[in-house]
Amino acid sequence: MTQWTSWIKSNEKEILAILNDLACKAEEAAKLLVDLFSDFEKLNEKHTQIKKIEREADKLTHSVFEELNKTFITPFDREDISRIASKTDDIIDYIEGISGRMVNFKIKSSPPYMLDLAKELQNAAKEINFMITRLNKVKVDKSIIDHCRIVNEIEHKADEIYRKAVGELLETSDVINIIKLKDIYESLEEASDRCLDVADSVEDVVLKYT
């Protein structure tokens, strides 16, 4: 019985450790995206690094689901764990999609406002990394909710930048360029939305367990 209980607890810790790793990957990918828009000559290099992180994140997300299937007692509700893992992975997927479009669309220089949006995304990813790390102490750390609110504020700021960027883009006359850049702007905005999804999910967990 002691060995069985120990096995359950070790898997519980494993789930939290994998979520932490996944959140770190999201922040790392977001930083690389900022680096990409800051130094466009390194576009291909940064895209390759982001692709590597995206594959690693997919494996981590799969590992979360595997651990959930073999663990009887989980740190918190299975649905919450699954949602946090999936939405965090979505952030990284969007980032990889953004860098991939920059390469495949043959964009030659950093478009207006994309660096600003990438910086807001990095800020949100930092908050998410912090929050998920603190879930190890969720029962005593209600202050996580303050960080959920910060992500909400970041998402609103990203929306404002997105609307301004697209508005100015639509005033230009190169239709092909409009189609390309609007797609990328939308992906940046969607990535920001996924950060808010993670924050909302974390807030749900905190409210349940504090």
Please give the domain boundaries of the chain with CATH numbers for all domains. 2-209 (1.20.58.220)
Render 116-184 in DSSP notation, one character per residue: HHHHHHHHHHHHHHHHHHHGGGGGG-TTHHHHHHHHHHHHHHHHHHHHHHHHHHTTS--HHHHHHHHHH
Distance CA(12)–CA(14), nearest Å, equals 5
pLDDT digits (tens, 9 = 90+) for 80-89: 999 999 999 9
pLDDT digits (tens, 9 = 90+) for 127-156: 999 999 888 765 556 789 999 999 999 999
pTM of the complete model: 0.91
**H or E segment to which residue 108 belongs:** none
Neighbours of 140 (CB within 10 A): 9
The C-alpha atoms of residue 107 and residue 111 are separated, in whole angstroms, by: 8
